[in-house]
């Protein structure tokens, strides 16, 4: 699974429950498109690729769904609730199609890949179904749909990385941006649909990644998040240079663009993150001191059933190594409650490993069986939902405690903060993030700082989710 850098937004996206209409400031040459994105950060990054493809075909983005000629929903299949939310949203387009005959509705992404032509048959409002590796064919599919045909392409690819497409930044704050470095996943975690909806793992051309990050920096962006289902397994052979680029190499290459460009990445797999990556973080101050390291469960028995390929002891040793090399590193996690056959002793081990790891935050869910996954084929989903929910509540309560303790330790400290935007509650305050990916709110006062500036902020208060401080002139 994959995560987004902004904690509050990331939590919404990971849950797949909130939708975010994405809009590009693109001059239109004719028709208009409107796109909503659900799920992980990769879906939001993919929507920016789709926007670029459509713009070259004469489509401009619109903020008003009622004026759209083409409505697209980029979907998530990670949990059943995500799919239910999207199905409900699709039915709401009925009035729009009636009010504006000829309006096309398309389903993109993982849900399109998983359900394929079933969507065309069940949802009479869906005209186009496009899998995550078929976005280049979208213009042709639009032509087919306009002629009255149901258009579908969900073929997966072993080569597609969209490396040559310059994404149009949708809903951008002009400061932070995603850069996709790879697609697909080779880890067959038994609970996960990603290998089936996004295909096999392939790494993007390293030069194209660095060039995209460099262009973003030259256009005023000050932070990039390198995205992949498992970034630590990035591996690209550059035939021109006759060398293999590892993820650690890639991190250094992007960080070398400028010390003013912050570099984040998501997501790491505990079995693949190496000392080379940790040393790269330690060497480059602009590689953020933050690692998302999903544990999923603290029970070695459950981890084996999940096919996570590490033990509880292995994971704890990885946490120890991160703390040893980068003491100031922020660490977050994913936790699943109530996986198949989970007993109370397994649940207690999960709570114990959370306490051991001292996560700054976690993304927490109870197990939702997904059709087609290895778990659905191999195991019985035998933990009652009320038990799942009870255990999840205990996990959430513990994480709230850990998050508050983590933030309390930061009170009195000074952090270099990248200003991202106005605070949501008051335009008299700035919102930015520390290297550890913690949100910090602080008053603008009479200083002439602006979005994209770095500023030192001394923390003087906190909640479990947010730090509060004041600008400190050193």
Same domain flag for 79 and 212: no
Per-residue model confidence (pLDDT) at position 76: 80
Listed in order, strand segments (DSSP E) in 343-438 are: 361-366, 414-422, 429-433
Per-residue model confidence (pLDDT) at position 20: 42
Q: What is the CATH number of the domain that holds 443?
A: 2.40.50.140
Residue 196 within a domain: yes
Per-residue model confidence (pLDDT) at position 75: 85
Per-residue model confidence (pLDDT) at position 86: 82
3-state secondary structure 146-160: HCCCCEEECCCCCCC
Longest dimension (CA), the chain: 65
Per-residue model confidence (pLDDT) at position 8: 34
Same domain flag for 214 and 185: yes
3-state secondary structure 169-197: CCCCCCCEEEEECEECCCCCCCCCCHHHH
Residue 272 within a domain: yes
Are the CB atoms for 180 and 204 separated by under 8 Å?
yes
Same domain flag for 147 and 188: no
Are the CB atoms for 53 and 61 separated by under 8 Å?
no
Residue 185 within a domain: yes
Could you read off the pLDDT of 24-73 as tens digits, one per residue? 444 445 799 999 988 888 889 999 999 999 999 999 999 889 999 999 99
Same domain flag for 180 and 136: no
Per-residue model confidence (pLDDT) at position 337: 98
Same domain flag for 179 and 261: yes
Same domain flag for 187 and 141: no
Record the pTM.
0.90
Residue 34 within a domain: yes
- Residues with Cβ within 8 Å of 116's Cβ and at least 6 positions away in sequence, in order, are 129, 152, 154
Same domain flag for 333 and 372: yes
Same domain flag for 204 and 74: no
Distance of alpha carbon 208 from its chain centroid, rounded?
A: 20
Are the CB atoms for 37 and 24 separated by under 8 Å?
no
pLDDT along the chain (474 residues), means of 10: 34 35 48 90 92 94 91 83 80 84 90 74 78 94 91 90 92 93 95 90 96 97 96 93 95 98 96 97 98 98 98 98 98 98 98 98 95 94 98 98 98 98 96 98 96 98 97 86
Give the alpha-carbon dihedral of 116, 122, 127, 129, to 10 degrees: -10
Give the alpha-carbon dihedral of 164, 214, 57, 132, to 10 degrees: 60
Distance CA 217, CA 177 (A): 10
Per-residue model confidence (pLDDT) at position 25: 42
Same domain flag for 279 and 346: no
Tally the domains of the chain: 4
Q: What is each CA distance from 198 to 168, 243, 337, in whole angstroms? A: 22, 27, 25
Same domain flag for 276 and 348: no
Same domain flag for 26 and 139: yes
Are the CB atoms for 414 and 471 separated by under 8 Å?
no
Residue 223 within a domain: yes
Which residue segment(s) compose the domain that 217 sits in? 173-288
Token pair, residue 263, equals: 């570099």
- Residues with Cβ within 8 Å of 426's Cβ and at least 6 positions away in sequence, in order, are none
Q: What is each CA distance from 319 to 233, 293, 330, 357, in whole angstroms? A: 19, 9, 11, 7
Per-residue model confidence (pLDDT) at position 410: 98
* Share in percent of the chain as helix, strand, coil (round to 5): 35, 25, 40
Smallest CA-to-CA distance from 418 within 404, 429, 441, 434 is with 434
Same domain flag for 220 and 104: no
Q: What is the CATH number of the domain that holds 321?
A: 3.30.750.200
């Amino acid at each position: 699974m994959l995560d987004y850098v902004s904690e509050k937004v990331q939590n919404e996206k990971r849950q797949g429950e909130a939708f975010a209409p994405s809009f590009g400031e693109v001059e239109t040459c004719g028709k208009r498109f409107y796109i909503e994105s659900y799920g992980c950060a990769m879906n939001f990054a993919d929507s920016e690729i789709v926007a670029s493809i459509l713009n070259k075909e004469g489509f401009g983005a619109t903020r008003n769904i009622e004026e759209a000629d083409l409505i697209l929903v980029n979907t998530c299949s990670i949990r059943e609730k995500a799919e239910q939310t999207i199905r409900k949203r699709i039915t709401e387009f009925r009035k729009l199609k009636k009010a504006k005959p000829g309006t096309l509705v398309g389903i993109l992404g993982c849900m399109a890949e998983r359900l394929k032509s079933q969507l065309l048959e069940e949802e009479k409002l869906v005209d186009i179904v496009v899998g995550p590796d078929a976005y280049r064919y979208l213009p042709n599919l639009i032509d087919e749909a306009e002629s009255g045909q149901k258009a579908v392409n969900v073929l997966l690819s072993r080569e597609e990385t969209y490396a040559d497409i310059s994404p149009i930044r949708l809903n951008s704050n002009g400061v932070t941006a995603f850069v996709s470095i790879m697609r697909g996943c080779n880890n067959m975690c038994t609970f996960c649909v990603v290998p089936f909806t996004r295909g096999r793992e392939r790494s993007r051309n390293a030069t194209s990644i660095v060039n995209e990050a460099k262009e973003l920096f030259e256009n005023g962006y000050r932070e990039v998040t390198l995205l992949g289902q498992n970034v630590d397994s990035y591996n690209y052979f550059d035939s021109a240079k006759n060398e293999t680029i590892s993820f650690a190499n890639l991190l250094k290459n992007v960080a070398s663009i400028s010390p003013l460009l912050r570099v984040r990445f998501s997501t790491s797999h505990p079995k693949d993150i190496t000392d080379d990556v940790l040393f790269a973080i330690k060497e480059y101050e602009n590689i953020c001191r933050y690692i998302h390291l999903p544990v999923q469960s603290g029970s070695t028995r459950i981890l084996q059933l999940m096919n996570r390929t590490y033990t509880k002891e292995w994971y704890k040793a990885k946490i120890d190594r991160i703390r040893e090399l980068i003491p100031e590193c922020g660490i977050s996690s994913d936790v699943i409650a109530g996986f198949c056959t989970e007993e109370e002793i397994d649940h207690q081990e999960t709570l114990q490993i959370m306490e051991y790891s001292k996560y700054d935050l976690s993304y927490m869910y109870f197990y939702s069986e997904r059709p087609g996954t290895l778990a659905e084929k191999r195991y019985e989903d035998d933990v009652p939902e009320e038990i799942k929910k009870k255990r999840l509540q205990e996990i959430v309560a513990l994480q709230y405690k850990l998050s508050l303790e983590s933030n309390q330790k930061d009170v009195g400290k000074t952090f270099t903060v990248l200003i991202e935007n106005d605070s949501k509650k008051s335009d008299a305050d700035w919102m930015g993030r520390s290297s550890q990916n913690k949100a910090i709110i602080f008053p603008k006062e009479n200083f002439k700082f602006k979005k994209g500036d770095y500023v030192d902020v001394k923390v003087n208060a906190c909640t479990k989710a947010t730090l509060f401080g004041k600008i400190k002139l050193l």
